[in-house]
Amino acid sequence: MPLLKNDKRTITAWAFFDWANSAYALVITVAIFPPYFLGIAPDLVDIGGGLQLRDETLEAWCISLAYLIIALLSPFLSGLADYGGKKKRFMRFFTFIGSLACISLFFFQTPESLWIGVFGFVLATIGFAGGIVFYNAYLPDIATEDRYDAVSAKGFIYGFTGSVILLVVNLAMVLNYEAFGFSTDTAAIRWAFVTVGVWWLLFAQIPFRRLPADSPKPLPLSALRKGYQELAKAYRVVRKSRNTTLFLLAFFCYNAGVQAILFLASSFADKEMKMEKSKLIGLVLILQLVAIVGAYLSSRLSEKRGNRASLFVMLSIWTAICLLGYSVRTETEVFLLGGAIGLVMGGIQALSRSTYAKFLPENTQETTSFFSFYDVMDKTSTVFGTLVFGLVAQLYGGMRSSVLSLSVLFVISLILLMWVRVRRMDNVSLT
């Protein structure tokens, strides 16, 4: 029986996957773990062979490593899921390893246990990123094209809302640690890692129950190569469309900048501005609350002005954020800059996903393969952005130069988007 599109209950259940795993994206990668990591790790970390990395460079490159691994694996996994009908199974797998790895961060508490923090963080990030490709691939399955923008935005809004709720709880734990029975704020932070893993695993059960069951098929040995073959086929289809190619190049550049900023913004505030942990969490909370409004406004703007015009507006704001970030000096300026980031961070992610969906051939059955290609672009651009951020910080001894360097990526994206027209590719098959 075919899946009924635009079913309210199915779409809501789908959005709850964002509710579940966005807690990791916010609490761990953005709010609590970065300053915790920088507070425990030595300023210079000996990684062997006489090579020492700045602690912020190590953090950035941990993200790079995680996303490089998942970029290499996702074509195999998503192609296998498309061929074998196992989208939900892989969503479950990545959710399981990600949430458990997140819980393992509880045992990272001294410089001697630094590598527990490194490996736990990398593995949890792989779990988070790995589930996204299958989550994204459900969009054309559960909604018609005219609903892509609204449904995509709903997912991000659910993600922001759920993660903010848990962040408020974690903020209360850290600020009132004695009332919660903790001896120090550090102990409260370690238990916050556990709450994120449990939250992630618990709420993911909602989409797992509501989304259609897998339809597994017998898999020959050739299926081991299927994912990369499907990725290559998707690439050959995509490159025939000038509009799609230009959009993906622009997406690669601006997403590299966006992801680097989102992952490392709190590290910047901690390292460069010496902000207290409570203020850092407050900053991230404000950022997320504004992001809920931003995701909604981006959806409305795209309805009235179109996807390309909306992307132009948001990328112009991102460029200004990088330029202003280089010279920010006061905590008030940091909070204002955080509000600006929140305004455009959810909107640009939701709009990018729905814009790409509009480029896909109409009625295509290979949605996972096409979204695998998009996902590889997403992951490799994240690798590139965090590598550049860490390299500039390592070479120039600080994160301000790293932020400034990202503005170049947004300018390149704006130039590329000038030549993009949002229209479908020819209705072709990957076969």
d(CA 388, CA 253): 12
46: which strand partners?
Answer: 52
**Per-residue b or e along 386-395, where b marks 16 or more CB atoms closer than 10 Å to that residue's CB:** bbbbbbbbbe
Residue-wise pLDDT tens digits, 2-43: 567 888 899 999 999 999 999 998 888 888 888 889 889 888
Q: pTM of the full predicted structure?
A: 0.79
Residue-wise pLDDT tens digits, 338-374: 888 888 887 787 788 778 888 777 766 666 677 778 8
- Taking residues 268-283, report their average pLDDT: 82
Q: What is the pLDDT of residue 24?
A: 93
Please provide the average confidence, as pLDDT, over all residues in the chain: 85
Residue-wise pLDDT tens digits, 34-77: 888 988 988 888 877 778 888 888 988 988 998 899 888 877 77
CB 44 within 8 A of CB 53: yes
d(CA 203, CA 308): 34
User: Is pLDDT at 106 greater than 70 in this prediction?
Assistant: yes
d(CA 168, CA 12): 23
Distances 413 to 256, 335, 372, 409 between C-alpha atoms, Å: 10, 26, 22, 6
Other C-beta atoms lying within 10 Å of the C-beta of residue 178:
10
What token pair was written down for 398? 């600080």
Q: What is the pLDDT of residue 3?
A: 63
Q: What is the pLDDT of residue 249?
A: 93
User: Which amino acid, residue 101?
Assistant: A
Residue-wise pLDDT tens digits, 122-173: 999 999 988 887 887 788 778 887 887 788 878 878 987 898 899 889 989 9
Domain boundaries, the chain: 8-211+221-417
Quote the percentage of the chain above a pLDDT of 70. Answer: 91
- Taking residues 392-406, report their average pLDDT: 88
d(CA 197, CA 414): 38
Residue-wise pLDDT tens digits, 184-241: 988 999 999 999 999 999 999 999 998 887 776 666 656 657 777 777 888 888 888 7
Question: Does the domain made of 8-211+221-417 have the CATH classification 1.20.1250.20?
Answer: yes
Q: What is the pLDDT of residue 430?
A: 52
Start-to-end Cα distance in the chain:
24
Residues 31, 206, 127, 184, CA torsion sign:
positive
d(CA 133, CA 228): 15
Q: What is the pLDDT of residue 368?
A: 65
Residues 174, 176, 177, 183, CA torsion sign:
positive
User: Is pLDDT at 94 greater than 90 in this prediction?
Assistant: yes
CB 194 within 8 A of CB 28: no
User: Is pLDDT at 252 greater than 60 in this prediction?
Assistant: yes
d(CA 166, CA 170): 6
